[in-house]
Copies of this chain bind each other. A is one copy, B any other.
Amino acid sequence: MKIALDAMGGDFAPERPVAAAIEALAQFPQIEKLILFGQENRIREELKKIGHEKPDPRIEIRHCKDVIEMGDSPVESLRRKRDNSILRSIEAVRDGLADAAVSAGHTGAMVAAATIRLRTLPGISRPGIATIMPTETNLFILMDAGANLDARPEHLLDYALMGSVFSEEILGYKKPRVGLLSIGSEDVKGNSLTKDAFKLLSEAPIHFAGNIEGRDLFENPVEVVVCDGFVGNVVLKTGESIANAIFQWLKHEIKKTPIRMFGAWLARAAFRAIKKKTNYEEYGGSLLLGVNGITVIAHGSSTVKAIRNAIREAVEAVEHDVNNRIIRAAEIAAAHKEAQSDAIPA
């Protein structure tokens, strides 16, 4: 298996992607080639710093002179900075040089590059980002987490199909239930997008659990949560922020007296268990599903471990042949729809 890694992607590049590449090669023997895209001299410098001046022969460096910065406009920067590491990684997938592309860089540029260069899978109208979220007892997929900000009902149907495939193949759930994120459980509750999507999801060959509310996400979770990319992104970032804020407040409150500090020290393993569970590093990255090629997008502030885990996700997606499973699911859905319309007398 060959993996293309954007060595210039993320707030700490090329340092962290390069270190993650070394770790991934040690951990995943199924990777035959790991191609680093980016400014060659800077990549070589990083390799040297961490004692890999003569790196693993499975590493290959492809020089690209341009770097897309986090503040750049996605489509415009892809046009202006043609020789950039995001576009080149994606093109490697398109041209069969790599089985998957991984980046901790600019999400919007990654989505645009993948959509333009790889195109959508047959039967899929729009790609979406599938993010893994933890509950106390469960993992669920939130889709779309920010690829498509003005979604239409048929896009949400595609997310339901793709999210179900992901949940089955990668997370191992049998018959994953799909919930539509809305503001009440009844089908009449929601905005015009979710009301129309509700009808489509009701008729689709998935395990539709109806509308779910924000409060159900963690207290009464389903396996796949479908929403438009704007809402998904806001939910994701708000969730992170609230979890951080609570731990911060707690820390400040605990520091107020020595007895509280001693108590918290005694209970420290409990805090650690939660921290680990809510730590995005464990999940690493998010698959952009719906494009014709495996693409993993990691957090801009990813640690080495997070990028290594994003590479692991790419490996798993390739091994599980996720895209062919999606194509088949879309075919089944299309046949199902046709059978339904045949069943209705003219």
Contact = CB atoms under 8 A, between A and B. Distances in A.
A252 interface: yes
A131 to B, nearest CB: 13
Interface in A199-248: 213-219, 227-231, 233-246, 248
Given A136-B248, A150-B192, A218-B245, A253 B273 contact: yes
A135 interface: yes
A234 B237 contact: no
Most buried by B among A146, A242, A265: A242
A342 interface: no
A255 B219 CA distance: 19
A282 to B, nearest CB: 15
B219 A244 contact: yes
Interface string A36-78: 0000000000000000000000000000000000010100000
Given A136-B248, A252-B136, A260-B270, A214 B241 contact: yes
Contacts of A263: 262-268
B270 A256 contact: yes
B230 A183 contact: yes
What is the interface of chain A mostly: helix, strand, loop, or mixed? helix
A150 B192 CA distance: 7
Nearest to A73: B188
From A190, A215, A248, A268, residue with most partner B Cβ within 10 Å: A215
B237 A238 contact: no
A250 interface: yes
* Residue of A243, A245, A256, A264 with most partner-chain B CB within 10 A: A245
Contacts of A266: 259-260, 262-264, 266
B256 A234 contact: no
B270 A149 contact: no
Nearest to A71: B186
B274 A267 contact: no
Contact of A274 (B188, B239, B243, B253): B253
Contacts of A234: 181-183, 213-214, 227, 231, 234-235
B252 A190 contact: no
B243 A267 contact: no
Given A150-B192, A231-B231, A242-B218, A249 B267 contact: no
B264 A270 contact: yes
A271 interface: yes
Interface of A: 71, 73, 108, 135-136, 146, 149-150, 181-183, 186, 188-192, 194, 213-219, 227-231, 233-246, 248-250, 252-254, 256-257, 259-271, 273-274, 277-278
20 contacts: A136-B252, A149-B183, A149-B192, A150-B191, A150-B192, A183-B229, A183-B237, A194-B230, A214-B233, A214-B240, A215-B237, A218-B241, A230-B231, A234-B235, A238-B238, A243-B246, A246-B274, A257-B269, A260-B267, A264-B266
Given A136-B249, A183-B237, 15 more contacts: A149-B190, A149-B191, A181-B234, A194-B230, A214-B239, A214-B241, A217-B241, A217-B242, A234-B234, A246-B246, A249-B274, A254-B270, A260-B267, A260-B269, A264-B270
